[in-house]
Amino acid sequence: MSVKKITTGVSMILRMLVRQKIVILLILVIPAFFLTIVELTSSDRILPFQLASVGEDIFVNISENGISFIFFSVASSGFLVSFLALNLIQKNNLVNRRLIICGYHPVELLLSILTVLVLVITFIAVYVGLLTNAFYSIEHLEKFILGLVLIGFVYGSYGLAVGSLIKGELEGILMIVLLVNIDVGWLQNPLFYAEAQNQIIIKFLPAYFPSQTCIITAVTDFSSSSSTMYSLAYGSIFLFFSMLTFFYKMRTK
Amino acid sequence: MILEVKNIEKAFGRKPVLKDINFLLEPGSITGIVGENGSGKTVLMEIIVGVKKAQKGKVHINGKLGYCPQKAMLFSHLTVKEHFDYFSIAYELDKTQSKLRTEELLDHFNFGKYKQERIINLSGGTQQKLNLSLALLHQPNLLILDEPYNGFDWETYERFWNYTTTLKNQGCAILIVTHLLSEKVRLDRIYKLENGILV
C-alpha cells in the first residue's frame, strides 16, 4: 500500500471532478433550487407530526414550510451524493482498470475514490446545511449538518454499490433516481409516514435513519444518537458491498 | 523467455473463442497476431494482461509489462501531462525518470504542444499517441499492443515502427495485433487466429 499512490489518486480524481462544469452546477444549483421552490410554495400553517424514531407517542408541531425545508435539504443531499458517487466509481472504470494493470492496487484506487467521496459529502452537507439555515432557523445546526453527512454516507455508499455493480451509465442513474425518489423524495416525508399504513417498510429504507437524525436535530432537543448509529450501520453495509464488488471486478486475473 | 501462454481456453456462454492457445515470446522479437474481426485477438490480449480470465490455461510473464489497449483508455478531464504523472506513479518511477521519459515520448511522437491540453479536446490520433506512450513510459521488456496505430498519420506510423524496432534491438519482446499485410516484413513471426485456434 503506497500513500503516494493514494494521494496522487485523490488529487487526480478531484481535478477531474471540479473540471466537470455540470457537477459544480448540480452541487450549487439543485439545493438552492429545491429550497427556493419550498419558500415560494409552502405555507406557514402549523402541523403536528409523529417523530417515529424517538417514540410512538412523540408528536411535534412545526410549520409546513419548516418541515419542507428540512425534508428537501435531506432529499437534495442524498440525490447529489448518490449521483456523484456513481459518477466517481463508474465513469472511469476502464481507465482505472488500466491503472491497476500498470501497478495500482485496487485498494489504493478505492481508498482514493472514498477519500474524494468523503470530501464531497462534507462539502455538500456543510453547503446544504448553511443554505437551509438561511431559509429556516435550525435548532442544532452542527448536528443537523451531521445528519446531512449521514444521508450522504448512506446514499453515497448506495451510489458506489450501484456503480460497481452496474455497467451502464443510464441504468445506474435510473437505479439512483428510482430509490431516491421513492425513499427520500416521498416515503421519508414525515407528513406522509406519520399517516402511512405500513411504517415498517419505510423504516427499513436507507434514508429513514438519516432523515430522522436531521428532523430531530433541526426542530427538537431529543437525542439523535440512536438514529445516527443505525445510519452508520446502514451505510456501512452498502459500503462493504460496494468495496467487495469493486475489488472483485477490478482485480487482475 | 519473456511470455509463456499455455493451453489457454476461453468461451462466452457455449461459444468457444479460444481453444488451446500456446506460444512463447523470446526477448528481442516482434510477433504479430492476425485474424478476422471477432476472431478473439483482443480477448487473447486481455487474458494475457489480466483483464479477462481464461477458463483454462496459464499465462506466465517474466518482466515488466506494457499494454496498449485497442481503444484509447484515458481520463477525458485530465491533461496529457497529468496522464504521464499519474501513470508514472502507477509504475513507481521517480520524478527524474518520469520527467525524462515524458519529454522523450512527447518528443518522439511529436505531441509536446498538447502537453497541457485535456483529453476531451484532443483528436483521436493524438489520444492514440498518448495511449501508446503510456504503455512505453516505464521501458517495459514485454509490450502487448492491440492495434496501436489507429488514427496515426503516415509519419507517426513510421515513427512508431522505428521506436518498436529500437525496443526490439534492446531486447524487448513485442506482441502486436494487426490487420495490415504490409507489416509482415517487420515481424519475426506471425500467428493467425482462426476459429479459436492459433496457426
How confident is the model at residue B181, as a pLDDT? 66
Q: How far apart are CA A34 and CA B177, in angstroms?
A: 53
Contact B74 A252 (CB under 8 A): no
Contact A253 B82 (CB under 8 A): no
* Domains along chain B with CATH numbers: 1-63+141-199 (3.40.50.300), 76-140 (no CATH)
Structure confidence by residue, pLDDT tens digits, B182-192 = 777 888 999 99
Tracing cell 481508498 back to the chain, one arrives at A111
Contact A99 B90 (CB under 8 A): yes
Structure confidence by residue, pLDDT tens digits, A134-172 = 999 999 999 999 999 999 999 999 999 999 888 888 998
Contact A95 B73 (CB under 8 A): yes
Q: Of A64, A62, A70, A190, nearest to A135 (Cα)? A: A70
Contact B75 A92 (CB under 8 A): yes
Q: How far apart are CA B82 and CA B84, in angstroms?
A: 5
**What is the crossing angle of helices A141-165 and A106-135, to 10°?**
140
The torsion angles phi and psi of A242, rounded to 5 degrees, stand at: -70, -40
Q: Are A63 and A45 in contact (CB under 8 A)?
A: yes
> How wide is the angle at C-alpha B101 spanned by C-alphas B97 and B104, nearest 5°?
145
pLDDT of A11 > 90? The answer is yes
For chain B, say whether A102 makes contact (Cβ under 8 Å): yes
Nearest chain B residue to A95 by CA distance is B73
Taking CB atoms and an 8 Å cut-off, how many pairs form between chains A and B?
58
Contact B51 A253 (CB under 8 A): yes
Q: Number of folded domains in chain A? A: 1
With a pLDDT cut of 70, the percent of chain B lying above it is 99
Using DSSP, state whether B43 is helix, strand or coil: helix
Nearest chain A residue to B81 by CA distance is A12
User: What range does the domain containing A167 cover?
Assistant: 3-249
Nearest chain B residue to A16 by CA distance is B77
Contact B77 A95 (CB under 8 A): no
What are the chain A neighbours of B78 within 8 Å (beta carbons)?
12, 15-16
Structure confidence by residue, pLDDT tens digits, A206-237 = 888 898 899 889 888 888 888 899 999 988 99
Mean pLDDT of A68-97: 91
Question: pLDDT-derived band of residue A93, with 50, 70 and 90 as boundaries?
Answer: confident
- Window 193-252 of A: residues touching B by CB (8 A cutoff) are 252
DSSP letters for chain A: --HHHHHHHHHHHHHHHHT-HHHHHHHHHHHHHHHHHHHHH----EEEEE-TTT-TT-EEEEEHHHHHHHHHHHHHHHHHHHHHHHHHHHTTHHHHHHHHHHT--HHHHHHHHHHHHHHHHHHHHHHHHHHHHHHS--SSHHHHHHHHHHHHHHHHHHHHHHHHH---HHHHHHHHHHHHHHIIIIIT-HHHHTT-S-HHHHHTSTTHHHHHHHHHHHH--S--HHHHHHHHHHHHHHHHHHHHHHHHHHS--
Question: pLDDT-derived band of residue A48, with 50, 70 and 90 as boundaries?
Answer: confident
Mean pLDDT of B73-96: 96
Q: How far apart are CA A157 and CA A121, in angstroms?
A: 11
How confident is the model at residue A69, as a pLDDT? 92
Q: Of B19, B41, B17, B26, nearest to B172 (Cα)? A: B26
The ipTM is 0.90
Nearest chain B residue to A91 by CA distance is B75
